[in-house]
Amino acid sequence: MQACFKEACRGTGDDIWAVCDRKFTKQVSSETKHLKVGFYREYFSAMVRLTDKKMDEVVRSICGADVISLVNKIKGKENVSEFKLAEILKEDIKKVRNTLYRLYGANLVEFTRKKDKKKGWYIYYWTFKQEHIKYLYKKMKLEELDKLKSQVNGETGQQYFICVNNCVRMDFEQAVNLEYRCPECGELAAQEQKEKKVENTAQKIALLKKEIKSLT
């Protein structure tokens, strides 16, 4: 289903949501409706499951892309020895520990330690806090929602003018000062059709809210 929407995005410069919203808004045919329902159903069930891809997205946004290979080795397991991890990843123990401390700082892993009787030092065993990811994912989505909301507030309060050649986007004051002429090419600027944009954002907000609700 997603592939179908991706296909619709090809060459248009739109992201999947823009296409999705367009299909949603137009409601041209029952076929489109069917597509829409199918797409959203798949989308939300994926949300609730919180796929590996989504988990990676959260981890990457918090700790950086370089922790992913280690996370993949401890995901779904319990009490993995840091020496074992270094061995599997073929990395220096110091580097592995450094990564683990970063994950610990972000509250993404926990550990227990046991004393090695022969050597006399402690060995740390690590567990990935999978259930915490859901909370962090929700937090991320709430921030996204806030951003969209303030975007709508900004858009509805302002009127913008766009050059017919798409060079610039000016607010009302700028447009008046320039006598509605584009400072780049000199062509007349037209009033932006903001309704569509606001509608798209509103649609995204509705989806996000639904998604966030499904995560509680």
List % helix, strand, coil for the chain (3-state, nearest 5).
Answer: 65, 15, 25
Of 189, 207, 187, nearest in space to 199 by CA: 207
| Cβ-based burial of 55 (10 A; exposed 0-12, middle 13-18, buried ≥19) | buried
Q: Any contact of residue 19 with Zn ion (CB under 5 A)?
A: no
Residue 169 near Zn ion by CB under 5 A: no
> Using CB under 5 A, which of 93, 185, 188, 190 touches Zn ion?
185
* Minimum distance from residue 165 beta carbon to Zn ion (Å): 4
DSSP codes joined into one string, 109-123: EEEEEEE-TTT-SEE
Q: Is 165 in the site for Zn ion (CB under 5 A)?
A: yes
Neighbours of 24 (CB within 10 A): 20
SS3 71: helix
Q: Does 167 bind Zn ion (CB under 5 A)?
A: yes
Number of residues interacting with Zn ion: please give it, by CB under 5 A: 7
Q: Does 190 bind Zn ion (CB under 5 A)?
A: no
Nearer Cβ to Zn ion (155/187): 187
Instruction: Work out whether 170 is an interface residue with Zn ion (CB under 5 A).
Output: no
Gap between the Cα atoms of 181 and 174, Å rounded: 10
For position 184 contacting Zn ion by CB under 5 A, the verdict is: yes
The Cα–Cα gap between 103 and 74 comes to 12
**Which CB, 100 or 163, lies closer to Zn ion?**
163
Q: Which stretch binds Zn ion (CB under 5 A): 13-21, 22-30, 73-81, 180-188?
A: 180-188
| Residues near Zn ion (CB under 5 A) | 163, 165, 167, 182, 184-185, 187
